[in-house]
Amino acid sequence: MKKTVIIGGVAGGASCAARLRRLDETAQIVLLERGEYISYANCGLPYHVGNVIPQRESLMLQTPQAMKKKFNIDVRVKNEVVAIDRQKKLVQVKKVESGELYEETYDTLVIATGSSPMRPPIPGIESERIQTLWTVRDADRIRAMVSDQNSKTAAVIGGGFIGLEMAENLHRAGLRVSLIEASPQVMAPLDAEMAALLHENIRQHGVDLHLGDAVASLQENETDVTVTLNSGKQVKVDFVVLAIGVRPNSQLAKQAGLELNEKGGIRVDEFLRTTDPSIYAVGDAIEVEDFIFKDRTMVPLAGPANKQGRIAADNIAGGRETYDGTQGTSVAKVFDLAVASTGANEKTLIKRGLVKGNDYESILITQNAHAGYYPNALPLTLKLLFAKDGSRIFGAQIVGFDGVDKRIDTLAVAIRLGASVGALKELELAYAPPFSSAKDPVNMAGFTAENVLRGLMAFSHWDLTQESADAVLLDVREDAELAAFSIPAAVHIPLGELRQRIAELDNTKEIIILCGIGVRAYNAARILMQNGFDNVKVYPGGSRFYQSTHC
């Protein structure tokens, strides 16, 4: 009878244990977890704080008793592994409540120790008014600060997934929220122009957004906390939630002599084995292959961790399953917007030395999530990055009110299966007016990309200051649309009048065309390009996108 010891529960460890039992009824499986819970929905914690998920028990996915009854797994919570002896193939375990030490032998060991929130050495950070959100107990403490202490204000430091979800849910709980981010934008997987849509929405909901301004110090006062930023600005709040990022819990692996990368990630092969063939590792603590560029990276996401746990179990049971990389597909709710991404962003392409126009192209379109004539048709903005020859898709980002998740999933599948950008226009996707349009936004991304690759159109930069100072901005919207929003420097010629008034334009100048969402601008570009205009571009996303990024 082979014995497998798993260190850590939640996503990777618990999924590994359950899968291993399904594959091998005779295996001895021991799961050791230093915390109180072996499997809980940590992604749901912000929503418990905001009372969207009011019952704490709803977050508990498995209990030790259920794991024993369903899977015959020996689950021991509040049992912390403090050392690994690779030569003797045993772990030293401490019972958290009593401090008692004991040893547990293994044939195969699985490290699923996850990650922990970072607490950088900022002066004052050890105050009890400075919280992180990572466990159920963390959520309990923050909920108590909101309700029992009658807090009115809070600051969230960090604009990633947890930071944005916390800002929304604290706002929902009735607090005045300040969101502080050291970089110039929230949500690092997005490019700047897509993040601008979130900035607008966050501010519209009354959150005080501080960008490009890191925290210099934190000072606990008698009844509140003073957050001092590098700029000298001060924000006074009742409490602070840190959401700066995570670090891998790899100390055990390091002490055992397993190989780590420079960020502390445990190095594993394609079978998820560490440098010791008897030890596997999964989840946030490991280094993985970047699916797009095939080099090494770290991506702490629940979906990949669950898959890795399953693969490790298969291999422990004698299989030869491989983990073929993480592409970082993710989605988040930010107030009434959804934001999603998959694969590489443009910042990454540039950092890798790729040059737009030579190595890659990008498009940005605005489309309704479903048929415009069906009620409540709301727009989504989609950015697609692809190889200059159209042979592969590098990544995609979407921000919108509805239908964002299914479009990013479609694009994620296309990337995973190696589809060319041309394949997007060929996809046959479900259509009915409440759900989509006959030309789904994913199809439209394919059509638009094809037009760019064939030279039928070109996009301007989203930030018009990056274009030629002599460029002419041509607005082809109707007169009534200008009453709601207009650009003073633009030349206005409605699309229906363009052929008759084409002589009003100078064909020696760069012409950048703008309309509501981009369709009329493309039609105008085709008219001009076939009438002697050689330098014509379409402004991406239309006038609404311009407002969000420039006003």
Catalytic center residues: 43
Any long-range contacts for 371-379 (C-beta under 8 Å, 24+ apart)?
Answer: 371/433, 371/434, 371/436, 371/437, 371/438, 372/437, 373/433, 374/433, 374/434, 376/402, 378/402, 379/517, 379/544
> How far is 104 from 106, CA to CA, in rounded Å?
7
In terms of DSSP H, where are the helices of 286-364? 302-316, 346-351
Burial of 438 by CB count in 10 Å (0-12 exposed, 13-18 middle, 19+ buried)? exposed
Residue located via tokens 């694969």: 343
Reduced 3-state DSSP string for 123-176: CCCCCCCEEECCCHHHHHHHHHHHHCCCCCEEEEECCCHHHHHHHHHHHHCCCE
What separation in angstroms does the CA of 511 have from each of 325, 365, 464, 471? 43, 19, 12, 6
Task: Give the type of residue at 134.
Answer: W
User: What DSSP character marks residue 265?
Assistant: P
Burial of 429 by CB count in 10 Å (0-12 exposed, 13-18 middle, 19+ buried)? middle
In terms of DSSP H, where are the helices of 217-272? 251-255
Q: List all residues 6 or more positions away from 215 whose beta carbon is below 8 Å from its beta carbon.
A: 122, 157, 180, 182, 227, 228, 229, 230
Residue located via tokens 């990055």: 385
Contact 278, 107 (CB under 8 A): yes
> How far is 41 from 60, CA to CA, in rounded Å?
6
> How far is 370 from 419, CA to CA, in rounded Å?
24
Residue located via tokens 């797994």: 73
